[in-house]
């Protein structure tokens, strides 16, 4: 079934055709009709499944475009990069409509955003912190909101946005429609939905297990002091089309990025401490394919949706099992093949086991002999003499006085 089988206007179908969207993904086929009907939806879906278009199309179709300067729809996302990505998707799908769309997020001058909001907008995409900032400055009113989208809700709660999200939801009309999309549905997300959604219809588009046929997943057991050399060896051997190297910390991301840049071309690091202008430039280069190797943290890396990524390398094993799912989901997009490598130190065996239990799959062990963590001692021709154990303390000779 093509998009023509969905209850969409000619304007929407034309925009989809120009965007080269020919067949709806399962997420789009499931969410679009329900969202058009005004139903609250709680959908479980990973990135790369077309979920942005799944909520963008119904929002654009249901806009009333009256005389109000206040927005009718607001989309909350966890990161600045994702805010830009979602805005660009809306702009693409709004072809043929007179719609004002803005992305608001930190790291950019708030004055420019304020000026654009004062001229009137129809759709706001933003991070909860910056949205709340505009609300407190009274530069953004949510009194006219007809639809709220919580995109990647699990990640927003993971990084502490729950208080901001609740403040925003309480300021929206109770009659609004709420769409919640999340890769996972932990108890905190379910509680949020129960409190702020009206009889949501639950849809599960997640694979029963992370066993994507187009993604090969391996792990290497490596000593900590050999990790960087193994990383360099893999990149030189594999020659990835594009690769993301994930690190746990911002400091580690910066350090590995600097070391890699001295050894191989086309490397950049991206993390939350970088100026927004730098982050925007790095992401633009990566999306255009001009940058081949990106070293990233989980929070920033989660918002990356680039179809050309062929390799994921977990330089640091993720702290949370679900982060592994999100990391690996950066590759194998749109049916392309992908490879995921995880570097595991001998002490991290239990963490690897937890990940395998979470994804219901055993990762294949790979080995590069010169970087292996466990090296057998060379065989010796002579066998050392067997020593007998000594118990107790040595006996003392006692001289008796005669």
104: β partners: 126
Residue 248 lies in a domain: yes
Lowest mean pLDDT among 7-16, 75-84, 166-175, 358-367: 358-367
HSE-up of residue 30 (Cα within 13 Å, Cβ side) = 21
C-alpha distances in Å from residue 381, one per residue of 374, 375, 377, 384:
22, 19, 13, 10
Residue 45 sits in the same domain as residue 76: yes
Residue 49 sits in the same domain as residue 155: yes
Residue 170 sits in the same domain as residue 238: no
Query: How far does Cα 260 stand from its chain's mean position?
Result: 23
For residue 13, pLDDT beyond 90: yes
Q: What is the DSSP letter of 106?
A: T
Residue 158 sits in the same domain as residue 11: yes
Lowest mean pLDDT among 12-26, 33-47, 161-175, 212-226: 212-226
Check: CB of residue 133 under 8 Å from CB of residue 110.
yes
- The whole-number pLDDT of residue 64 equals 87
For residue 395, pLDDT beyond 50: no
75: β partners: 125, 149
Which residue's structure tokens are 């379910």? 190
Tokens matching residue 371: 């970087």
357: β partners: none
Tokens matching residue 52: 């942005």
Residue 400 lies in a domain: no
Residue 126 sits in the same domain as residue 181: yes
Query: pTM surpassing 0.75?
Result: no
Tokens matching residue 355: 């990940």
- The whole-number pLDDT of residue 317 equals 93
Q: What is the CATH number of the domain that holds 332?
A: 3.40.50.300
Check: CB of residue 330 under 8 Å from CB of residue 304.
yes
Residue 54 sits in the same domain as residue 21: yes
Pick from 204, 232, 266: which residue ends a domain? 204
φ, ψ dihedrals at 74, nearest 5°: -135, 135
Residue 272 lies in a domain: yes
Distance linking the first and last C-alpha atoms of the chain: 112
Helix (H), strand (E) at residue 147: strand 147-151
Pick from 204, 230, 263: which residue ends a domain? 204
Residue 244 lies in a domain: yes
Q: Give how many domains the chain has, as a whole number.
A: 2
Query: Quick one: pLDDT band at residue 387, thresholds 50, 70, 90?
Result: low
Residue 261 sits in the same domain as residue 193: no
Query: Quick one: pLDDT band at residue 226, thresholds 50, 70, 90?
Result: very high
Residue 136, SS3 per DSSP: helix
Q: What is the DSSP letter of 372?
A: -
Residue 188 sits in the same domain as residue 252: no
Residue 271 sits in the same domain as residue 333: yes
Residue 253 sits in the same domain as residue 138: no
Residue 383 lies in a domain: no
180-218 confidence digits (pLDDT tens)? 999 888 899 999 999 999 999 999 987 655 545 568 899
Residue 229 lies in a domain: yes
Residue 259 belongs to domain spanning = 215-371
Residue 246 lies in a domain: yes
303-356 confidence digits (pLDDT tens)? 677 778 899 999 999 988 878 887 887 786 655 678 999 999 989 988 999 888
Residue 333 sits in the same domain as residue 308: yes
Residue 129 sits in the same domain as residue 43: yes
Tokens matching residue 135: 């609300």
Residue 74 lies in a domain: yes
| DSSP letters for 54-104 | HHHHHHHHH----S-SS-SEEEE-SSHHHHHHHHHHHHHHTTTS---EEEE
- The whole-number pLDDT of residue 386 equals 60
Tokens matching residue 1: 């079934």
235-246 confidence digits (pLDDT tens)? 999 999 999 999
- The whole-number pLDDT of residue 391 equals 45
261-282 confidence digits (pLDDT tens)? 999 999 999 988 888 888 889 9
């Amino acid at each position: 079934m093509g998009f023509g089988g969905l209850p969409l206007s000619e304007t929407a179908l034309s925009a989809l055709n120009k965007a080269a969207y020919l067949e709806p993904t399962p997420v789009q086929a499931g969410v679009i009709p329900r969202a058009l009907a005004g139903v609250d939806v709680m959908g479980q879906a990973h990135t790369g499944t077309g979920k942005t278009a799944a909520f963008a199309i119904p929002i654009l179709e249901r806009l009333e475009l009256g005389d109000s300067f206040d927005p009718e729809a607001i989309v909350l996302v966890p990161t600045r990069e994702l805010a830009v990505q979602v805005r660009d998707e809306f702009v693409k799908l709004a072809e043929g409509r007179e719609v004002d769309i803005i992305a608001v997020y930190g790291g950019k001058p708030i004055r420019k955003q304020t000026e654009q909001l004062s001229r009137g907008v129809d759709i706001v995409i933003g991070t909860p912190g910056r949205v709340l900032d505009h609300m407190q400055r009274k530069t953004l009113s949510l009194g006219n909101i007809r639809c709220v989208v919580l995109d990647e809700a699990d990640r927003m709660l993971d990084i502490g946005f729950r208080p901001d999200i609740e403040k925003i939801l309480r300021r929206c009309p109770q009659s609004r429609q709420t769409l919640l999309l999340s890769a996972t549905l932990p108890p905190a997300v379910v509680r949020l939905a129960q409190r702020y959604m009206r009889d949501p219809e639950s849809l599960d588009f997640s694979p029963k297990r992370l066993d994507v046929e187009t993604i090969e997943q391996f792990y290497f057991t490596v000593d900590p002091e050999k990790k960087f050399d193994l990383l360099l060896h893999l990149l030189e051997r594999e020659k990835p089309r594009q690769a993301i190297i994930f690190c746990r910390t911002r400091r580690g991301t910066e350090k590995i990025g600097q070391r890699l840049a001295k050894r191989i071309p086309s490397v950049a690091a991206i993390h939350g401490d970088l100026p927004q202008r730098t982050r925007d430039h790095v992401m633009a280069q990566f999306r255009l394919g001009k940058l081949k190797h990106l070293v990233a943290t989980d929070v920033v890396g989660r918002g990356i949706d680039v179809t050309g990524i062929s390799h994921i390398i977990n330089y640091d094993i993720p702290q949370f099992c679900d982060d592994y799912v999100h990391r690996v989901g950066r590759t194998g997009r749109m049916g392309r093949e992908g490879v995921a490598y995880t570097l595991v130190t001998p002490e991290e065996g239990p963490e690897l086991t937890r990940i395998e239990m979470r994804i219901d799959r055993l990762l294949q062990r790979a080995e590069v002999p010169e970087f292996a963590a466990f090296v057998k001692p060379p065989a010796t021709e002579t066998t050392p003499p067997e020593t007998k154990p000594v118990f107790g303390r040595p006996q003392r000779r006692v001289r008796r006085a005669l």
